[in-house]
A and B are shown apart, each in its own frame.
Chain A
Amino acid sequence: MVPGSRGARRGAARDPQVDRARHGGLAANVVAFARMLRGRGLSIGPPEAADALRALSAVDLTDRLETYLALRAVLASGPEAQRIFDAAFWEFWGDMQQAVGAPPHGDGGAQALDGRGALDRVMIEWQEDGDAGVDGDRVPAYSPVEALTHKDFSTLSADELEEITTIVTAIARRVATRVSRRTRHARRGRLVDLRRTIRHSLRRGGEMLDILRRERKLQKTRVVLLCDVSGSMDLYSRFLIQFIFALQHAVARVETFVFSTGLSRITGSLARADLRAALEDVARQVPDWSGGTKIGRSLRRFLTDHARQALDGRTVVVIISDGWDTGEPDVLESAMAELHRRAARVIWLNPLLASPGYEPICQGMRAALPYVDVFAPAHNLDSLRRLERHLARRP
């Protein structure tokens, strides 16, 4: 758990902050360290830095391990954050031997600080660099690479579009709503609202003439759509884009990603009402349209970069792919296991499933199947209709 002592330190490019702060007091060092962590993606602001300063004033600063543990408890709020913290700690405080190794006298570091005092000190230090946002959260941004291949989506007929939209909307309702454990007032609910019934009865001298009721709420589920757009899916791409688009409009909270060798988030470009423009946008944005597929790696990317925002226990994950994975089956399997664990349901739509002679025998598909709740064909309108009916039978 504790990284090897000085050997773990990296001699590479040092932060300019480090040099500036190393001669300052403990507060300046803590703030510089907090800013360094923030620069590496941890969400740390002045309140956390203030807590770090308070923590240091509560432990034995001559004890290196204790100092390390105290700072980590306050500043790293998850396993991933702890890894980042570990690397940064030795890099920063390794150089800071003087500031921590010898107990600092006279700079106020060793005396106990209350919350207010610590925050004041931190704010003084923090503002020197004129930092605008207090929130360090960074939204992963997609940087457009020059387009390699453009697909023409103009050949889908208007009728087809219409029909796809209708069915996908119905499917979305099936997968994206369920009965909540929470309740609300309702005239004809199945549950009795005792609290309101009793209160109401007081008006009639304690006689319970009316029973007031509650019912369970319908809960809107989130949907994450992960769509394979690699070469092996080429034939179906247009149809799939249509599926994506319709789903995006049918469900309020849907995040859409496309992948082949890499992963791109395209939720933004699909939020527009103009269908054609949206489709062209997708074609322009995805650099590796119709390349090879690394499903496992792409799913892993999704899990590390986006799952925190996009995925929770009531999210339905819909994967559209033929399962031809050119990557390691191991990677795919572990990613699928994690998806399955963290999402409410995993639905895999396979455009090849209905073709005669297709068995899900490719290694990737075989690795993924144990973690899939619904595995269904999606090669034409008819298969979608059947899927809709299939989902209707489920509770």
Chain B
Amino acid sequence: MHSEINRIQELLANQGYVADRTIATSVYLSITLRKPLLIEGAAGVGKTEVAKVMARALDADLIRLQCYEGLDATTALYEWNYQKQLLHIRLSEGGERSLAEREAEIFSEGFLLKRPLLDAITRSQPPVLLVDEIDRADEEFEAFLLEVLSDFQVSIPEIGTIAATAIPNVVLTSNRTRELGDALRRRCLYLWIDYPTFEKELEIVRRRVPEINGRLAEQISAFMQLIRRLRLDKAPGVAETLDWSAALMALHRDHLDRAAVEETLGVLFKHHDDAAVVRAQWLDQLLDGVAVLEQEGRPWSQEAVVRAAERLAIRK
């Protein structure tokens, strides 16, 4: 294995990404080939964490651009500092300077507010630029972003062209609420992150909630595997697993039972409907699934969880 990939894998491991060579290789290639990394996957599988790991691997700053519908150049790239401009006009009142001179003055770099994209290309050290949830921005923005990412320069009518002083390492994430354009895909390296397996999720829980007892961690991880087999509006991700673990710890639970789960179901589901469906139709089977695993004896594995699920007909 390449030593640099190894190092990134260790950094990932500290973030709870256990032995994930797929992610490590993609991050390494993105840095080496200087190509943006496009990460897709369900919400809550830790896409954003990858950008953080990349920043740590490079010892670079992380600049984040959160996308939303209607995001435009003034929020993503730059904006003029109007208050400062107004003040300056007032302060320089009665001066001798011509209109053109004064105009040039207030539309100069000192009056420019750098937004994430401009900020990312004008640092002295190349930062990591995280364009989060690009699927939420509209197509116009996607085209605009593509332009900035291929030219690495920005033209501002009042000033002229600002060329990049450092080319940032770019990470884009998408939850796939819409398909991204082919042009953007082709410019990027692609990484798909799936929900973790039982073993991996257990490892994540142990690392991130170190004070948890072994039995509860296993039960939680198995329960999550079972729950993701159901047809839900939004399956809970790893973030929910960790929140849930923390919630159960706070309530001093040391194992899963009906009362403990019912009390904390709200932590797992973002949609009321999902919580209602699970509570009404599936809770018994899910708990039975955990009980079956307990009877079979340890160590538990992904295969054992799948077997238990099949036996109890826990499926869509």
Contacts and interface: CB of A to CB of B under 8 A. Distances in A.
* A and B assemble together: yes
Interface of A: 1, 43, 47-48, 51, 54-55, 58-60, 63, 65-66, 69-70, 72-74, 76-79, 81-82, 137, 180-182, 194-195, 198-199, 201-203, 205-206, 307-308, 311-314, 341-342
B33 A51 contact: yes
Contact of B2 (A60, A73, A82): A60
A177 to B, nearest CB: 15
A134 to B, nearest CB: 11
B178 interface: yes
Given A63-B1, A203-B99, A43 B186 contact: yes
B147 interface: no
B51 interface: no
Interface in B176-203: 177-179, 182, 185-186, 188-192, 194
A60 B179 contact: no
Interface in B243-279: none
Given A195-B80, A202-B99, A54 B33 contact: yes
A72 B25 CA distance: 10
25 contacts: A1-B194, A48-B186, A58-B32, A60-B1, A63-B1, A63-B2, A70-B25, A72-B190, A73-B26, A73-B191, A77-B182, A77-B190, A79-B40, A82-B190, A180-B70, A181-B138, A182-B70, A182-B140, A194-B80, A198-B82, A198-B86, A205-B93, A311-B178, A314-B138, A342-B178
A346 B294 CA distance: 46
B102 A202 contact: yes
A51 B186 CA distance: 11
Contact of A307 (B22, B25, B106, B179): B179
A162 B24 CA distance: 63
B25 A59 contact: yes
A341 B185 CA distance: 21
A202 B5 contact: no
Contacts of B32: 55, 58
Interface in B127-164: 135, 138-140
B240 interface: no
A69 B189 CA distance: 11
Contacts of B140: 182
A48 to B, nearest CB: 7
A54 B99 CA distance: 54
A150 B38 CA distance: 49
Nearest to A63: B1
A198 B158 CA distance: 13
Interface in B191-250: 191-192, 194
Contact of A74 (B2, B28, B139, B189): B189
A81 B186 CA distance: 12
B21 interface: yes
Contacts of B99: 202-203
A7 B35 CA distance: 33
B287 interface: no
Contacts of A74: 29, 33, 189
B89 A201 contact: yes
B310 interface: no
B192 A313 contact: no
Given A54-B33, A79-B192, A181-B69, 10 more contacts: A1-B22, A1-B194, A59-B29, A66-B5, A69-B21, A70-B25, A73-B25, A73-B29, A181-B138, A198-B106
A73 B28 CA distance: 11
Interface of B: 1-2, 5, 21-22, 25-26, 28-30, 32-33, 35, 38, 40, 69-70, 72, 80, 82, 85-86, 89-90, 93, 99, 102-103, 106-107, 135, 138-140, 177-179, 182, 185-186, 188-192, 194
B2 A59 contact: yes
Contacts of B90: 206
Contacts of A47: 186
A50 to B, nearest CB: 10
B189 A66 contact: no
B190 A181 contact: no
Q: Which 3 A-B pairs have the closest CB atoms?
A: A181-B70, A206-B89, A77-B185
B28 to A, nearest CB: 8
A50 B30 CA distance: 14
Contact of A342 (B69, B72, B86, B179): B179
B293 to A, nearest CB: 24
Nearest to B135: A313
B29 A82 contact: no
Contacts of B29: 55, 58-59, 70, 73-74
Contacts of A341: 177
A51 B179 contact: no
B190 A206 contact: no
B103 A202 contact: yes
A51 B179 CA distance: 23
A100 to B, nearest CB: 15
Contacts of B138: 181, 313-314
B186 A66 contact: no
B86 A51 contact: no
A389 to B, nearest CB: 28
A45 to B, nearest CB: 8
B5 A206 contact: no
Nearest to B136: A313
Contacts of A1: 22, 194
Nearest to A67: B25
B45 to A, nearest CB: 13
Contacts of A77: 38, 182, 185-186, 188, 190
Contact of B103 (A70, A81, A199, A307): A199
A208 to B, nearest CB: 8
Nearest to B38: A77
Given A48-B186, A51-B35, A308-B179, A69 B22 contact: yes
